[in-house]
Amino acid sequence: MDILSKINKSNLCGRGGANFSVYLKWLAVKNATNTTKYVICNAAESELLVNKDGYILSKYPEAVVDGMFLAINFLKAKEGIIYLKPEYYKKLSKQLTKLIGNRPISLFKKTGSYLCGEETTLLNDIEGKRKEPRMRPPFPTISGLWDCPTLVNNVETFYYISKIANDNYNSTHFITIAGDTKNKGTFELPLNLSINNILKNTNNFPKFNFFVQINGGASGEFLIQDNLNKKLNGTGSIIIYNTKKTNKLKLLKKIVDYFHQENCDKCVPCREGVYRIHEMLKNKNINQEVIDDLLFTMKNTSFCALGKSVSTPLNSLMNIK
């Protein structure tokens, strides 16, 4: 069985947060007619408080590089690039370069921040363009880096691809647990565990009243204790908040500040919407009807996932009483 069939059988989904079928992505790049192709490993890891990709990269760099190399060979790609968050670059570049050896893989230190985790912004960054998302279609699988078909997979995805190639994949994923808890860290756990069980199995289930934010400290959703029976998919992370000790308004403000700083200001709903919410919080003049309208248009009409996702943390946090 070739690697693509194995991936298909495994049902592997991208671990960058979007959950897109890895099989379909590979297939699209494989079928793209342009003969120059690229493979990119996304190690931008820009979600706040998430460290699972960094963890994998420092613990299992061989597997990640092997996974990339499999893709390069399978797709007959010209080159592979590991797109690294500066901290990871600083910490791991020497080791990675050594590991890569004479394989056609190079390292790129990301120059921007949050939005560069988004794959088309990442491509613009490598090309030295303004760091903003690109129009889709064309999708990167057809027209990506330097307009060539490009496979962008996340660190964890490549890690599991090498596992799949060695028939060693057991439907697990990596989860960073952070926040108000003692046993913080990144854990590899079965995919089908509920959030409750993840917390219990890792010895992180708090004794106090708490709520969590899953799938990243910026765009992730907030959940109350009663809603933790679901599985975790997306950017694997759980951040625990002690209800009593957390100032929710402050937290809300922190998240909005972050988006205000990190969004690219390209499109009207996100640029203006985030600005308006930011102003309201700053001036302590909150009008729920206006916020609802803003989140509505951001969710429905933003250009990219950043703007679309702002309503997720905001609405869910505001709903926690």
Say if residues 115 and 264 touch (Cβ distance below 8 Å): yes
Give residues 196-255 in contact with ligand SF4 (rule: CB under 6 A). none
**265 touching ligand SF4, by CB under 6 A:** yes
Number of residues that this document lists for the chain: 321
- Cα dist from 172 to 178, 187, 193, 220, 285, whole Å: 19, 10, 10, 21, 45
Q: Which stretch binds ligand SF4 (CB under 6 A): 141-149, 225-233, 258-266, 279-287?
A: 258-266
Provide, rounded to whole angstroms, the least separation between the CB of residue 116 and other proteins.
Answer: 16
Which one of 141, 176, 302, 316 is in contact with ligand SF4 (CB under 6 A)?
302
**253 touching other proteins, by CB under 8 A:** no
How far apart CA 294 and CA 132 sit, in angstroms, is: 21
Number of H helices, E strands in the chain: 13, 9
Which one of 65, 307, 312, 314 is in contact with ligand SF4 (CB under 6 A)?
307
Closest to 87 (Cα-Cα) out of 118, 110, 119, 68: 110
How far apart CA 161 and CA 169 sit, in angstroms, is: 8
Which one of 10, 196, 297, 315 is in contact with other proteins (CB under 8 A)?
297
Provide, rounded to whole angstroms, the least separation between the CB of residue 271 and other proteins.
Answer: 7
Pairing assessment for the beta strands 150-154 and 38-43 based on DSSP bridges: parallel
The item of other proteins, ligand SF4, none sharing an interface with residue 306, based on CB under 5 to 8 Å by kind, is ligand SF4
Token pair for 167: 């028939």
Q: Which stretch binds other proteins (CB under 8 A): 64-72, 104-112, 204-212, 257-265?
A: 257-265
Handedness of CA 256, 257, 260, 262 (dihedral sign): negative
Token pair for 125: 């960054």
Contacts of 272 (CB under 8 A, 6+ apart): none
Provide, rounded to whole angstroms, the least separation between the CB of residue 272 and ligand SF4.
Answer: 9
Q: Which stretch binds ligand SF4 (CB under 6 A): 14-22, 202-210, 242-250, 300-308?
A: 300-308
What residues line the site for other proteins (CB under 8 A)? 130, 135, 260-261, 264-269, 271-273, 275-276, 290, 293-294, 296-297, 300-303
Residues making contact with ligand SF4 (CB under 6 A): 115, 132-133, 263-267, 270-271, 302-304, 306-307
